[in-house]
Amino acid sequence: MNILAVGDIVGNCGINKLKAELKNIKNKYNIDFCIVNGENAAEGMGLTIKNFKDIISAGANCITMGNHTWGKKEIFQIIDEPELLRPINYPEGVCGKGYNIFTCNSKKIAVINAMGRAEINVQTENPFLQVKKVVDEIKPKVDMIFLDFHAEATAEKQAMGYFLDGEITAIFGTHTHVQTADEKILEKGTAYITDIGMTGPKNAILGMDIQAALKRFLTALPEKYKIATGEAILNACIFEVNDNTNKVIKIERINC
């Protein structure tokens, strides 16, 4: 099986790029299942109902979120949709779900969404403990487990990779909007990449307008970010899984 993970969708620019490229990518690489991070889809912050429908209709099977999960109030109307996940380590009682199990080609695929705590100003529970608790619970029931770890610090992402090595199929990082070139299969068989990148404006600073972002650095004054315009890129990662062992045998990055 081939599992595709698409980097953070940034604004309408990113959604339009997804619409234009995803079906071709799925056909070219024989993709069976697709995970898309959508937490920046609503012009950089959050997810609207229209964004959700557009991403699913483009070909996503699952949408993961992050620190901007609650950026748009509309999300409360769709938070219980089976395709939509929010970080699992929000406090107990918060609406929505941090993981779900999907059936694809007779395989049970679990997708977990978690959020880091280093350099992210959101009060959450310990992601390591929360994810491990769920993995222990669902591992006997599924064939594969994929984790979208939405985190800022590279060290925290690497730590999660080694912590879960041999316990899950793959862990891929999101949030930094910069695709890393450190894809690898860890010693005990778990596939890992620090960040899969973003899908949005190419000539931008993390998807945002260059001049608006520069003003913050040059003046130290508050400046409202706005999405950049122009050409778009799509960053993603393909995990090729052996159908017999359910382990990743190849990782391929996409940048188009």
pLDDT for residue 224: 82
pLDDT for residue 28: 98
pLDDT for residue 197: 98
For residue 220, is pLDDT > 90?
no
Residue 150 is among the residues annotated as catalytic for this protein: no
In the predicted model, what is the mean pLDDT of the chain? 97
Place of tokens 């299969």: 185
pLDDT for residue 119: 92
Per-residue pLDDT tens for 100-144?
Answer: 999 999 999 999 999 999 999 898 999 999 999 999 999 999 999
**Distance between CA atoms of residues 102 and 80, nearest Å:** 15
Domains of the chain, earliest start first: 2-255 (3.60.21.10)
Residues 47 and 237: beta-carbon distance below 8 Å: no
Per-residue pLDDT tens for 19-76?
Answer: 999 999 999 999 999 999 999 999 899 999 999 999 999 999 999 999 999 999 999 9
3-state secondary structure the chain: CEEEEECEEEHHHHHHHHHHHHHHHHHHCCCCEEEEECCECCCCCCCCHHHHHHHHHHCCCEEECCCCCCCCHHHHHCCCCCCECCCCCCCCCCCCCCEEEEEECCEEEEEEEEECCCCCCCCCCCHHHHHHHHHHHHHHHCCEEEEEEECCCHHHHHHHHHHCCCCCCEEEEECCCCCCCCCEECCCCCEEECCCCEEEECCCECCECHHHHHHHHHHCCCCCCCECCCCEEEEEEEEEECCCCCCEEEEEEEEC
pLDDT for residue 182: 98
Given the residues 68, 150, 175, 177, select the one marked as catalytic: 68
Pick from 69-78, 85-94, 114-123, 221-230: least confident: 221-230
pLDDT for residue 121: 86
Check: pTM over 0.95? Answer yes or no: yes
Q: How confident is the model at residue 222 (pLDDT cuts 50, 70, 90)?
A: confident
Q: How confident is the model at residue 256 (pLDDT cuts 50, 70, 90)?
A: very high
pLDDT for residue 21: 98
pLDDT for residue 223: 82
**Distance between CA atoms of residues 253 and 175, nearest Å:** 16
Residues 36 and 18: beta-carbon distance below 8 Å: yes
pLDDT for residue 13: 96
